[in-house]
A and B are shown apart, each in its own frame.
Chain A
Amino acid sequence: MIKAYSLSKEYRGEKVLNLSELEIPKGELFGLIGNNGAGKTTFFSLLLDLIEATSGTIEINNIMVHQSEAWKPFISAFIDESYLIGYLTVEEYFYFLGSLRKKTQVEVDSWVKAYEPFFKGEILNQKKYLRDFSKGNQKKVGIVGALIGQPEVIVLDEPFANLDPTTQIRLKSLIKEEAMNNGTTFLISSHDLTHVTEVCDRIVLLEKGTVLKDIKKTSSTLKELEQYFSN
């Protein structure tokens, strides 16, 4: 599904990302962890062609992201609040995203009903603009917005941060369900080791732009990671 070859990004001669090879197969729940400055967001931005690589390539479904835009239908992302359009209402935002993926308003309306429990009645029919929602509620909108139209790959940067505990738990089961029912590939970065090890089948640990660990999840993974970060 996603392949990166000798991918690197430099800022003023300093390498912030340097991946010799990384492959993410379809349907994988891929977790990306690392301290601040490890290169997680840089990797996502390269994947979404938001920044240009210094060297190397990255492919989605065998399409090089910097050469064609044909990968865009396969992928969706929620990185931060800048992925929301502040002057729209939640419904308008969903309709907008839906229309880009060929969904009618009726389809979006009936689809969004499935996420009512995740929203806990605080999101829909609120008669206010997205910019006036709290951070946590904005995040919920962004995450659900990324699911519209069943894209094959969904990128979520720090999805657990800013969410209340109930929603964190619901989000975990939501991700697992989407992956199970639709075979969606998830790329999730997180600072919360417990959540990320619980959700993902594979964890990649970045430090200073390079892959330090690439492990299939086992029962000892969380211990192993905690050990690493406490040193």
Chain B
Amino acid sequence: MAYTFRESLGLSKKKFFRAPQWELKLAVRILIGFLALYFLVAFLFLGIGLFFILRKEFPEQDPVSIINQWIIFYFGADILARYFLQNPPVTDVKTLLIQPIPKKRIIRGVLLRSLSSIFNWFSVLLLLPFCIVVSIENGATFSIWSWFFAMLLITGTNNFLVFLINKNKNVAIGVLLFLAGGYVLENYMNVPVISSIGIGFEALYIEPLWTTVILVFFLVVLQLTATFLKKELYLDKGLSKKKEKIIGSNLYFLDRWGPLGILLKNDIRLIIRNIRARQVVLTTGLFLFYGLFFFTQELYLERPAILVFAGIFITGGFTITFGQFIPAWDSEYYSMLMSQNLNYKRYLKSKLYLLMFSVVISMVLCHALLYFGKKVMVLIIGCGIFNFGLGALISLFSGAYNATPLKLNVKAKAFENTKGFNLTQFIFSIPKLVLPVLVFYIPYFFLGFNAGIVGLITSGLGGFFLEIKF
């Protein structure tokens, strides 16, 4: 059996169509498709516009030469972005290993698929329209296209270098230091580092023969990557799981809280030891900054109802993002928990306390927003109390309708975080986000700002007493 690139693609296709909830994923892909189209057009205009802007600003220089001076930063940023974001497509390789397929062919499949990465398209999308314009306006057709070819080769080299770097952070730091150091030396100490590299790029443009050097370099890196991958194609090497360090083993202070502390301890470990949960908490961190966007705009400061929306996000980011998956977080061992000597009510209470605890922490942290004035602060505290009493409860309740199990230690890819998203969750966003706005706005409209705050606080406390009673 010959394992070809087409079959490799076929596997990817099946993986996509047979994934759970693929219809939803398709919808998301279409959305991404539109987004991609938008970027395509934007880059097209950028590529075309780049030439004219540069010619207008620097009439005595060739636009290509100006780009050559700075393009090293583009390629440096490219490497860094790839280092953080690009995952080599090696996941499905394991099953192929013991099939009668030559390793060479498996590696070729991996390398070819890696070329389809979005990072490679940026260069093409940006430089292709630019080069078309240059070739029309300047007329130097051959030299610009050989330059374009060289740039593509460098992009491809970057693409394969990421395999060789293999998540080695020293290389990434090195690239960063080189770029920063080069910039400082060039501009403040008159040591021509960046401009020397610029001259190198310029040579590619002036003398197309130099492109062969880049071509040789590209082929060498390609060959090195292939040999590297061949060596790594073993279960105990490149395909092995990385050994994890144990974190959060000393949470003894929670023991004082008795039975609830035990469950809280587990939840904290869940959050810090699992990729998926860590991702959610990071988003919560972003929500804290979300408020800044609203509070810096004069326009919104006069519309407190919109600020309530921001306040709910700031104080309740964790309750919303974490809470909507609440029994689902424990899905990997749910049956065990259920057959343990553990009362279900106690279990739910511990989860609720975790959410309430997070609201308190957010409220402490967002005191930094005091900078925007007392009124904003009062509003945020009001939203916090709402989330503390009622928001946490609603989030917990909404999570109960989320029956999709969750894989704890698997990264949710960007735009693929659709597992928990369904209509029910969407409907639940109404009480989570719209209800507090109404609770504030109705008294605010009739009686003024303070009445709105009282509305938030009483509904929050009401929820809290409801929770204590049951």
Cα distance, A127 to B243, chains bound together (Å): 10
Q: Is the CB of B339 within 8 A of A72?
A: yes
- A99 lies within 8 A of B344 (CB): no
User: Quick check: is A226 within 8 A (CB to CB) of the other chain?
Assistant: no
Q: Is residue A49 contacting chain B, with contact meaning CB distance below 8 A?
A: yes
- Docked Cα-Cα span, A218 to B270, in Å, equals 49
Q: Is the CB of B336 within 8 A of A84?
A: yes
Contact B338 A100 (CB under 8 A): no
- Identify which of A12-20, A88-96, A181-189 touches chain B: A88-96
* B262 and A96 form a contact (CB under 8 A): yes
Cβ–Cβ < 8 Å partners of B408 in chain A: 86-87
CA distance A127 to B341 in the complex (A): 27
Q: Which of B311-353 contact A (CB under 8 A)?
A: 332-336, 338-344
Q: Is the CB of A69 within 8 A of B344?
A: yes
Q: Does B249 contact A (CB under 8 A)?
A: yes
Tell me the nearest residue of chain B to A104, going by C-beta: B255
Q: How far is the CB of A139 from chain B (nearest CB, A)?
A: 14
The answer to the question of A101 belonging to the interface, with a C-beta cut-off of 8 Å to chain B, is yes
Asked if A37 CB lies within 8 Å of chain B CBs, one says: no
**B269 touches which one: A45, A83, A88, A97 (CB < 8 A)?**
A88
A7 interface contact, C-beta 8 A: no
Whether B342 contacts A87 by the Cβ 8 Å rule is: no
Task: Report the bound CA distance from A173 to B309 in whole Å.
Answer: 63
Interface centre among A45, A49, A88, A128 (most CB of B within 10 A): A88
Q: Is the CB of B409 within 8 A of A86?
A: yes
> Per a CB cutoff under 8 Å, which of B270, B335, B343 touches A87?
B270
B14 part of interface (Cβ distance < 8 Å):
no
Separation of A132 and B243 alpha carbons in the complex (Å): 8
Bound-complex Cα distance A85 to B259 (A): 18
Q: Which residue of A lies closest to B261 (CB)?
A: A99
Q: Is B55 an interface residue (CB 8 A)?
A: no
Whether A79 sits at the interface, judged by CB under 8 Å, is: yes
Give the size of the chain A interface in residues (CB under 8 angstroms). 31
The interface residues of chain B lying within 8 Å CB-to-CB of A84 are 333, 336
A86 to B241, CA, bound (A): 15
List the A side residues contacting B273 at CB < 8 Å. 87, 129
Chain B 383-427 near chain A by CB (<8 Å), digits 1 or 0: 000000000000000000000000011000000000000000000
Which residues of the other chain, A, contact B468 by a CB distance below 8 angstroms? none
Determine whether B87 belongs to the interface, using a CB cutoff of 8 Å to chain A: no
- B27 contacts the other chain (Cβ, under 8 Å)? no
Q: Return A73 CB to nearest CB of chain B, in Å.
A: 5
In the complex, chain A residues whose CB is within 8 Å of the CB of B259: 99
Q: Are B246 and A129 in contact (CB under 8 A)?
A: yes
Does A123 sit within 8 A of B, measured CB to CB?
Answer: no
B236 adjacent to chain A (CB < 8 Å)? no
Residue contact B341 to A73, C-beta cutoff 8 Å: yes
Q: Given contacts A87-B273, A128-B243, is CB(A48)–CB(B338) below 8 Å?
A: yes
- Report A13 CB to chain B, min CB distance, Å: 23
Q: Which residues of B contact A216 (CB under 8 A)?
A: none
Q: Any chain B CB within 8 A of the CB of A141?
A: no
Q: Is the CB of A100 within 8 A of B342?
A: yes
Q: B243 to chain A: which residues have CB within 8 Å? A: 128, 132
Chain A contacts for B270, CB-based, 8 A: 87
Nearest CB of chain B from residue A48's CB, rounded to whole Å: 4
B274 on interface, CB distance cutoff 8 Å: yes
Whether A83 lies near B262 (C-beta < 8 A) is no
Residues of B within 8 A of A72 (CB): 339-343
- Taking a contact as CB atoms under 8 Å apart, the answer to whether B336 and A82 are in contact is yes
Tell me which residues across on chain B come within 8 A of A73, comparing CB atoms.
341
Would you list 10 pairs from A and B whose C-beta atoms are within 8 A, ordered by A residue? Answer: A72-B339, A82-B332, A82-B334, A83-B333, A85-B266, A89-B246, A96-B266, A128-B246, A129-B246, A131-B409
Known: A92-B269, A101-B341. 18 other contacts (CB 8 A): A48-B338, A50-B338, A72-B343, A73-B341, A75-B339, A76-B340, A77-B339, A79-B336, A82-B334, A82-B336, A84-B333, A85-B332, A86-B409, A88-B269, A128-B243, A129-B273, A132-B244, A149-B341
